[in-house]
Amino acid sequence: MALIVQKYGGSSVADTESIKRVAKRVVETKKKGNRVAVVVSAMGDTTDDLIDQALSIDSNPPEREMDMLMTAGERISMSLLAMAIHAEGSRAHSFTGQQAGFFTDARYGAADSAYSSARIKRIQTERIQTELDKNKIVLVAGFQGINAKGDATTLGRGGSDTSAVALAVALGADICEIYTDVDGIFTADPRIVPAARRIPSIDYESILEMASCGSKVLALRCVEYAQRFNMPLHVRSSFSRRPGTLVVPDGIDPRTLPNLD
Ligand code: ASP
Ligand code: MG
């Protein structure tokens, strides 16, 4: 039995129909006999909309309140996804970053930056383990944690990728699957360069080089984290069944990884 962490980005859960589609895919993974934990992003443009609302009230909003606001987006998608999984006849249990035991440092997340924001210090996985042991699908709100004061913090834009990899490492998962709206990582942006080719398998270093050249499929911090702990990643589309891109440590045969179909 494999333990799989899946992350679904905002475009994969943009509306309730998409959430139902994602629920089917999550349940399918579970029914293949895997243990499954899922990290979700906020629906579509929710985070941008929340930031716009805040800035329309105060051009320099208090950081603490900004983080409180931004964590709301992921709570909406995780609870709706739990309901959609329930409607599929399976059992799911959703957790905020706080409930999931994501402890961060004291920084609040700057709305416009991926770097000057909170960093995960440790993940206390007991509650998640308990629900996985009950054979449930566990859902975790991405991009958030709590600081030592118990206040909500956020991890920077695109931070759900980092939540997913950190959770996969903390749980000792076999793979962390990152679901997005493109079929993996390409030699160039396939939406702009039609001749771009999908990269079937790649190492962390090359991804980090691509990211520093502006490729934005994965958050830089999440790749650094995966590299540090040798966590295999599978970047793939939630809209298709195509194979995606495996990001694996040197020396691992990608064909030995779970849930490749
Ligand atoms: N919802 C957050 C953002 O839009 C985090 C994420 O999607 O990874 O940046
Ligand atoms: Mg993203």
Ligand 1 site residues (CB inside 6 A) read 9-10, 41-42, 47, 73, 142-143, 157-161
Question: Of 71, 80, 11, which is closest to residue 43 (Cα–Cα)?
Answer: 11
Tell me which residues of the chain have a pLDDT lower than 50. none
Please report the pLDDT score of residue 113 as a whole number: 65
Q: What is the mean pLDDT of the chain?
A: 94
Please report the pLDDT score of residue 195 as a whole number: 92
Please report the pLDDT score of residue 114 as a whole number: 58
Task: Output the six-digit token pair for 180.
Answer: 């997005």
Tell me how far the alpha carbon of residue 237 is from its chain's centroid.
Answer: 13
- Reduced to 3 DSSP states, what percent helix, strand and coil does the chain have, rounded to the nearest 5? 40, 20, 45
Residue closest by Cα to atom 6 of ligand 1: 158
Please report the pLDDT score of residue 179 as a whole number: 97
Residue closest by Cα to atom 9 of ligand 1: 157
Please report the pLDDT score of residue 109 as a whole number: 83
Please report the pLDDT score of residue 131 as a whole number: 98
CA neighbours within 13 Å on the CB side: how many for 139? 28
Amino acid at 192: I
Please report the pLDDT score of residue 112 as a whole number: 67
Please report the pLDDT score of residue 115 as a whole number: 56
Question: Of 113, 122, 102, which is closest to residue 63 (Cα–Cα)?
Answer: 113
Please report the pLDDT score of residue 219 as a whole number: 84
State the SS3 of 92-117: EEEECCCCCCEEECCCCCCCCCCCCC
Task: Output the six-digit token pair for 53.
Answer: 């609302």
3-state secondary structure of 212: helix
Q: Which ligand gives the minimal distance to the CA of 155?
A: 1
The pTM of this model reads 0.96
